[in-house]
Structure 1
């Protein structure tokens, strides 16, 4: 499993002649690291006097969004490996025999299912990353100002993960024949990309303003 590798081992696994792990797994990793930074800031915030003096409702919401980030992080960790696994399944489907009509149909169906899986994994990364950005925006004003730059780096990693996931959805859509489904995925990508850009800018504007 990729997530069990040491950092240097993972870097070298990507930096190899093998086509996987590639951009999909790296995008999921980027989002995961972005969440880890947002959560790190929260860990540094919990026992601060200013945080403890906040209204109970604000602290409750902060903890709720922290829990949301925890759940998303766990999901994304799984998707890091799932993306590479889905690519490998597609390659296996390509290698299926196509000598008879029956074999051709079996191969065609296997390719369709593998393509759908290869789309669905980065699609999940996209949706989860937008949710993580939303949670980060809500937590941001109450986090430790001493770690404000970490929130900024986290936002950049999350956005890279988001757009990276979208690129992987779009390239895999080329293998799908269902035009209505392709259009549905494309619209979702456009919507979430626009949403992600706004959230990223909202975070970075706040970070830069705080750093003045």
Structure 2
């Protein structure tokens, strides 16, 4: 059974155990899926309501597109729970490879570097997807049903937490990677975190104004 198919109780039990999988990456993916699901709820309680009918056609189109994206991303984000676990397990397997000869040592190092790259790319891709999703959460805060507008705020908080958590997981692997792209990846991460923080602040301002 995949982690994403487990009950909440089972997942949390395994998260708290001595097993390194699932770990922080899996928790970040859960936070991401909770975020997109909450925004989907806001949209579902907005579309076809009286306030929605008063929007312009362009605004309605923006809301509907945002709702469709959030619904799709909920399942996508859940898939990152297992992607993260698989990447970590693969990396651990590489560290266990024999190093008794020069040839085996070389093979082991190549596999470790490949494992580190994959373990770094999974959270990096999750963070990239979520920064884009936060634009849709902003739409929920702008046009969402005022009775559930606080949920748009919670969605933004969870998305930001997932992005920062994912970037931590990028950094912990990046320091061991031998690549000329390291500085560029660090810069990309800093830019994503800055953009996510700006979006979160914008969303929270919109939410608090409607409370």
Aligned counterpart, 1:80:
81
C-alpha distance in 2 between matches for 1:154 and 1:103: 48
User: Aligned-pair distance for 1:56?
Assistant: 1.4
Alignment of 1:54-203 (within 5 A): 54-178=55-179, 180-203=180-203
C-alpha distance in 2 between matches for 1:19 and 1:69: 29
SS at match of 1:39: helix
C-alpha distance in 2 between matches for 1:150 and 1:194: 23
User: Aligned-pair distance for 1:152?
Assistant: 0.9
RMSD: 1.0
C-alpha distance in 1 between matches for 2:26 and 2:73: 15
User: Aligned-pair distance for 1:21?
Assistant: 0.8
Aligned counterpart, 1:48:
49
- The count of residues paired between Structure 1 and Structure 2 equals 210
User: Aligned-pair distance for 1:72?
Assistant: 2.5
C-alpha distance in 1 between matches for 2:151 and 2:140: 13
> Is 1:25 matched up with 2:30?
no
Aligned counterpart, 2:6:
5
**Unpaired segments of 5 or more residues in structure 2?**
none
C-alpha distance in 2 between matches for 1:210 and 1:53: 18
C-alpha distance in 2 between matches for 1:197 and 1:187: 15
SS at match of 1:98: coil
SS at match of 1:45: coil
**Unpaired segments of 5 or more residues in structure 1?**
none
Q: Does structure 1 retain, via aligned residues, the 8 Å contact 2:26–2:82?
A: yes
Question: Which runs of at least 4 in structure 1 moved beyond 4 Å after TM superposition?
Answer: none
Could you state the TM-score of these two structures normalised by the residue count of structure 2?
0.96
User: Aligned-pair distance for 1:5?
Assistant: 0.5
Could you state the TM-score of these two structures normalised by the residue count of structure 1?
0.96
C-alpha distance in 1 between matches for 2:139 and 2:49: 18
Per-residue Cα deviation, 1:90-141 (whole angstroms, up to 9, x for no partner): 0000000011111111111110110000000000111011011111113321
